[in-house]
Amino acid sequence: MKAVPSRVILIDGARLVGLMIKYRVGVQVKQSYDIVELDEDFFE
């Protein structure tokens, strides 16, 4: 059986927080909002 190669990659705090938010690990959505745009075709 061959050993699986592994290595440790060090990251800084900002990168860690970015990954936590991206993959929703250890975080909760506290507030969200919608961004809307005027639909000009509606008024034609």
> pLDDT tens digit string along 4-43?
888 999 999 999 999 999 999 999 999 999 999 999 999 9
Q: What share of the chain is helix, strand, coil (3-state, %, to 5)?
A: 30, 0, 70
> Does residue 39 form part of some domain?
no
> Does residue 10 form part of some domain?
yes
> Does residue 40 form part of some domain?
no
Residue numbers of the domain that contains 12: 1-29
Tokens of 40: 């000009």
Which residues, at least 6 apart from 27, have a Cβ–Cβ distance to it below 8 Å?
Answer: 20, 21
State the total domains in the chain.
Answer: 1
Q: Which residue has the higher pLDDT, 3 or 39?
A: 39
- Is this prediction's pTM over 0.75? no
C-alpha 40/C-alpha 44 separation (Å) is 7
pLDDT at 28: 96
> Does residue 42 form part of some domain?
no
Q: How many residues does the chain have?
A: 44
DSSP-based three-state secondary structure for 33: coil
pLDDT at 1 over 70: no
